[in-house]
């Protein structure tokens, strides 16, 4: 049984609907979701509320299995580099699907997470993520 990615908002999207996980159909006029790979409940709540206010559909994944199951539809993968996920699997899945990765870390862990930075479209600190989250969710990252 495939893991379920929890849909956390976005207009007109039912929780766990296939459209929430796979993304809107072409020509539907609906924005493709952002897939956030985050375990920190504080950031899950912050990202969820910001996405809701910005009108951006959002799904949350809490494991590499969930990312692999849901990575075909998102327009952006938001990744926490501070929690010890199986980053190789997550980056491989994102690269296969052509989904850009916006990763975040802390100043204290920047050196430790640096080996993953080259596989990201952009890496920011948690502080920058907090300050720029609405625009990052709406606009994504430049290729």
Q: What is the CA radius of gyration of the chain?
A: 14
3-state secondary structure of 100: coil
Asked if pLDDT for residue 71 goes beyond 90, the answer is: no
Structure confidence by residue, pLDDT tens digits, 98-137:
999 999 999 999 888 999 999 999 999 999 999 999 999 9
Q: Decide if 60 is inside a domain.
A: yes
Distances (CA, A) of 75 to 58, 98, 113: 10, 9, 23
Structural domain boundaries, residue 38 = 6-20+33-139
| Tokens representing residue 115 in the block | 């080996």
In-domain check, residue 16: yes
Say which CATH number the domain at 88 has: 3.40.50.2300
pLDDT of residue 84: 87
Give SS3 for 75: coil
Per the document, the length of the chain is 143
Which tokens sit at 38? 């985050």
In a domain, 27, yes or no: no
How many structural domains does the chain have?
Answer: 1
Q: What is the pLDDT of residue 6?
A: 41
Instruction: Report yes or no on 28 lying in a domain.
Output: no
pTM: 0.77
Q: How many angstroms separate the CA atoms of 90 and 25, rounded?
A: 24
Contact 74, 58 (CB under 8 A): no
Give the pLDDT confidence of 18-67 residue by residue, as tens digits: 233 334 434 444 578 999 999 989 889 999 999 999 999 999 999 999 99
**Sign of the torsion angle spanned by Cα atoms 113, 72, 41, 55:** positive
């Amino acid at each position: 049984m495939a893991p379920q990615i929890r849909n956390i908002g976005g207009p007109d999207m039912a929780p766990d609907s296939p459209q929430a996980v796979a993304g809107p159909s072409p020509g539907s006029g609906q924005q493709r979701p952002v897939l956030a790979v985050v375990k920190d409940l504080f950031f899950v709540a912050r990202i969820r509320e910001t996405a809701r206010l910005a009108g951006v559909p959002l799904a949350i994944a809490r494991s590499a299995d969930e990312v692999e199951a849901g990575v075909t539809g998102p327009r952006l993968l938001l990744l926490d580099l501070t929690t010890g996920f199986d980053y190789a699997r997550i980056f491989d899945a994102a690269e296969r699907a052509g989904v850009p990765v916006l990763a975040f870390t802390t100043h204290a862990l920047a050196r430790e997470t640096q080996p993953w930075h080259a596989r990201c479209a952009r890496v920011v600190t948690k502080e920058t993520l907090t300050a720029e989250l609405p625009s990052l969710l709406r606009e994504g990252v430049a290729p």
